[in-house]
Amino acid sequence: MTWLGLGLAGVLLLSVAYCAGHQPARDAARKAEAAATLADGRTRAVQDASTIRDAHEARTDQTRQDVKEAQDAVRQETDPARRDAVARQRLCNLNPGACPR
């Protein structure tokens, strides 16, 4: 019986040592995976922000160009009534909500 008890104690001791030794390795692997996931998320967030910023800049540039063209069109008109009509038309093109339908 003593040999059996000693054998069981040895197996139990080896099992505990095995589990205790692999737990830090599993934790380290989980931490590394979590860090990689966070890094991927940050990279995607930066890319999304860059895309949004580029789209905003493109819209702003287009609006500036439209305003410049509208100003040029209004300045070219010599007839005051025609100038007002062109200004209203260009305003409606730039801001459709500003014009009655």
Task: Give the pLDDT of residue 8.
Answer: 77
Mean pLDDT, rounded, for 2-31: 77
* Token output for 51: 């895309």
Task: Give the pLDDT of residue 1.
Answer: 60
Comparing CA positions, the residue from 86, 65, 66 lying closest to residue 74 is 86
Task: Give the pLDDT of residue 101.
Answer: 67
Comparing CA positions, the residue from 86, 67, 61 lying closest to residue 76 is 86
Whole-model pTM: value is 0.53
**Tens digits of per-residue pLDDT, 19-72?**
766 677 777 888 889 888 999 999 999 999 999 999 999 999 999 999 999 999
